[in-house]
Copies of this chain bind each other. A is one copy, B any other.
Amino acid sequence: MQRKDYYAGNDKMYVATDCIVFGYSTDCLQLLIFPRKVEPHKGEWSLIGSFVKEDEHVRDAAERVLKEITGLDKVFFEQLKTYGDVDRDPGARCISVAQYALIRLGETDRKLVEGHGAYWYKLEDLPSLVLDHDELVRDALNELRRKARYQPIGFELLPEKFTLPQLINLYEVIYQKKLDPRNFRKKILSLKVLTKLDEKDKSTSKKGAYLYKFNREKYHQLLESGYHFEL
């Protein structure tokens, strides 16, 4: 960068980004962690993260490191918040912009992930993590649940074509509780943001379940018309 630095004299510091990467499988949410590669606390379990480079957008830094480890592009990403404690990182003054991601777990990713020394852990048997990362995970989980109530982010975690039973299961995993399939259907269909297809997925039953697509256009129309979306 060759622009003039007008701000010389003020303090600079490290800016990191940490990614809370949730993986969805049909029975539970999982979290991607790996053994920290640098001192201090080298070898302890950590979220995936990276320092932000001077010529790099904070978001791009997160995408870069996630791509590196999972091979995934175009992942659903959302900023959580920035952790700014002076002593949060004993390695140096370093603030962290936390961002959470949602990924559908498939066999393909798993190998690449393990090749990088990372692992998927079920949320319920997560080990304790380095620095303030336990707090980041707690906050991200709350935010994920909050967000899932008001925005259809669940769709990011399903294939383009999905069945209603799959969708219900997803919300059950996120909320960690059983939902009534009749009421769930009624609610979600009343929003008119799903398009029913003429195909069935017969992989889980003899009868087969109709496939649906999420209609982003209708969803945005709904939002813009001031509708207060809630699941």
Contact = CB atoms under 8 A, between A and B. Distances in A.
A57 interface: yes
A56 B86 CA distance: 6
Contact of A6 (B38, B57, B58, B86): B38
Q: Is the interface of A mostly helix, strand, loop or mixed?
A: loop
Q: Determine how many copies of this chain the complex contains.
A: 2
B97 A82 contact: yes
Contacts of A91: 4-7
Give the size range of A's interface with the partner.
Answer: 35 or more
Contacts of A15: 12-13, 15, 95
Nearest to A10: B51
Contacts of A55: 86, 93
Interface in A67-98: 79, 81-82, 84-86, 90-95, 97
Contacts of A12: 12-15
A185 to B, nearest CB: 22
B52 A6 contact: no
A52 B11 contact: yes
A14 B51 CA distance: 14
Interface of A: 1, 3-7, 10-15, 38-40, 51-59, 79, 81-82, 84-86, 90-95, 97
